[in-house]
Amino acid sequence: MTDSTSATAHTDTANRAVDALAGLVARGGVLALTGAGISTDSGIPDYRGPDGQRRVTPMQHGEFVTSSSSRQRYWARSYAGWSRFTAAEPNAGHQALAALERHGLVTDIITQNVDGLHQRAGSSRVVELHGSLAEVVCLDCGQRYPREQIQAAIRQANPHFADDIIGLARDGSRVSSQIRPDGDVVLDDALIAHFVTPTCRACGLDRLKPDVVFFGGSVPRERVDQCFHLTDAAHALVVIGSSLQVMSGLRFVRRAARGGIPIAAVTRGTLRDRHLIDVQVDDGITETLRLVADNVAAGGRPSR
């Protein structure tokens, strides 16, 4: 098979997959399950490559809750990355899902992301499975804070920290220019050692945690049950930007499969439990969602 023939065959296969996805969405009652891949075009990288292998090591729940030094490392990195994280804007993929909701085709979104981009794009029925980085909670007394309030407290306690980061970046030390999926950046250990960890104003302890589920943590039972209810009520489940490597999202795919609910996936590369997926679009997420939204919402068919 020549290169041109192979490319044509790939395009034909991709077109058929997009057509099948469009037909599924056009029938309505769609529950979207989104992962980190939908936000990569907004400048927030995902955890895994196309091969499904993890590219970064995220903070683990156990180390955060048991180690003051781990909390210091997390908050230093997260504080440094927050301005870049919040500067990310919804991309055309987020906007396409919001448009499909307005047209009554997508009923709900379950997102594994903690970036809030779905809501900023205009989606109103979003369950944040892993929580949101915009909220902070004290693990001891339960006091809650908006993230910006904690950012301000960190800034006051570490008045020279931002300048130190700039200096280290200039002399070639380890200061990453790219945020990670959970909003932090890589910093030099020497810089972290002098960082003052934020404390709870109510109880005074350094046990503040972003209100998100770290790796190794558990999603609250009532939130899982809510998502199971949404899955059972859906006419179709569309997985977007997730390789389904962790049970957190995979359980809803398995639930849908047991209920005979059609399942589609828009994601590049390896998919866990691929045999449960009826349609996979192994192509660009943003472009695929834009095509489906532009054409299906108008009553047409996607064209490339």
Write out the binding residues. 138, 141, 200, 203
In 37-120, the DSSP E strands lie at: 106-111
Sign of CA dihedral 111, 214, 174, 49: negative
Q: Give φ, ψ of 197 to 5 degrees.
A: -70, 140
Residue 160 is a catalytic residue: no
End-to-end Cα, the chain, rounded Å: 24
Q: CA angle at residue 46 from 42 to 50, to 5 degrees?
A: 115
Q: Are 172 and 107 in contact (CB under 8 A)?
A: no
**Of 20, 27, 34, 32, whose CA–CA distance to 103 is shortest?**
27
**Of 97, 92, 95, whose CA–CA distance to 30 is shortest?**
97
Out of 61, 118, 130, 275, the active site residue is 130
Binding residues for Zn(2+): 138, 141, 200, 203
Q: How far apart are CA 285 and CA 29, in angstroms?
A: 20
What does each C-alpha distance from 15 to 158, 237, 282, 304 come to in angstroms?
53, 20, 11, 8
Catalytic residues: 130
